[in-house]
Amino acid sequence: MQPNDITFFQRFQDDILAGRKTITIRDQSESHFKTGDILRVGRYEDDGCFCTIEVTGTSIVTFDTLTQKHAEQENMTLDELKSVIAEIYPRQNQFYVIDFKCL
């Protein structure tokens, strides 16, 4: 079986497939993705592949510069986004935004 290139928590799968989630915010360990990359996407919980995405852009953001636009692209409120980021990446401040579209 082919390994996945990137994983998402299962709770985000429907939003990704429906085009409601169009970015992901990651830490330094996943800062290597670049525009044009085609990625096999899996669920974090069971590594099951559920789609393929194309990276359409990348940028750097800090926790304090997260905006309402980032939240909308994640299909959540800004407070929810900040809470999720703080939970997944405690004590980190710099992040890498990966813009994508489902193929």
Catalytic residue among 7, 22, 24, 58: 24
101 catalytic, yes or no? no
Catalytic residue among 7, 22, 58, 74: 74
Return the structure tokens found at 15.
């939003």
Neighbours of 72 (CB within 10 A): 16
82 catalytic, yes or no? no
58 catalytic, yes or no? no
Adjacency order of strands within the sheet including 49-62: 6-8, 38-43, 49-62, 94-102, 23-26
Catalytic residue among 7, 21, 22, 58: 21
Note whether 74 and 58 are within 8 A (CB). Answer: no
Note whether 25 and 85 are within 8 A (CB). Answer: yes
Catalytic residue positions, numbered: 21, 24, 74
